Amino acid sequence: MTQQEYINNKDFQELILSHLKNLEDEDIRNEITLCFYLLSSNIIQAFNFKLIDKEDALQEGVLACWSKLDRFDPERGKAFNWFTTIILNHFRQLYRSCKNDINLKRKYIERQAIGKTTAVFEGSSGDLAEYVTYRIRRNLE
């Protein structure tokens, strides 16, 4: 297989099956790795996950495919569909994790700001300061 912009499904299937029969062949391993890179790259371009670093996602996609290669069963589906699903699901999980991290950081920063605001209000007197602090804390929870 030569470097292309797409993967020929039939050739890809045969390459995967030949690798499963002969695990020691380095040429086949290199060809499969190139196919995984191409597949990951195409998925990154197609779905444009904005919060994920593209280079890291590319490597993550290849590693996810290699980790699940031994589970491939040609009787249950085609190799192209199998590995596309693996990469896409992995990227979705990365996106969710990244999004959760951003939300946690935002909440932490907001709580830091509220802590500083509360310290200013606690030094003053009046019911308004207590009411504002109560409202802000309730909204964060």
Q: Is residue 4 part of a domain?
A: no
Q: Is residue 1 part of a domain?
A: no
Q: Is residue 93 part of a domain?
A: yes
34 pLDDT band (50/70/90 cuts)? very high
Backbone angles phi, psi at 88, to 5 degrees: -60, -45
- Looking at the whole model, is its pTM more than 0.75? no
Name the burial class of residue 91, with classes exposed (0-12), middle (13-18) and buried (19+) by CB atoms within 10 angstroms of its CB.
buried
- The predicted pLDDT at position 131 comes to 59
Host domain of residue 98: 9-140
pLDDT above 90: residue 68:
yes
Q: Is residue 49 part of a domain?
A: yes
Residue scoring higher pLDDT (4 or 112)? 112
pLDDT above 80: residue 57:
yes
Q: Is residue 103 part of a domain?
A: yes
Task: Choose from 71-75, 130-134, 136-140 the range with maximum mean pLDDT.
Answer: 71-75
Name the burial class of residue 114, with classes exposed (0-12), middle (13-18) and buried (19+) by CB atoms within 10 angstroms of its CB.
middle
Answer for the pair 6, 46: CB distance below 8 angstroms, yes or no. Answer: no
Q: Which two tokens stand for residue 38?
A: 């191409």
Q: Is residue 85 part of a domain?
A: yes
**Domain count across the chain:** 1
Q: Is residue 45 part of a domain?
A: yes
Residue 72 makes CB contacts below 8 A (sequence gap 6+) with: 16, 20, 79, 82, 83
Residue with tokens 């200013």: 120
Average pLDDT over residues 44-63: 84
Helix (H, G, I), strand (E, B) or coil at 53: coil
Q: Is residue 3 part of a domain?
A: no
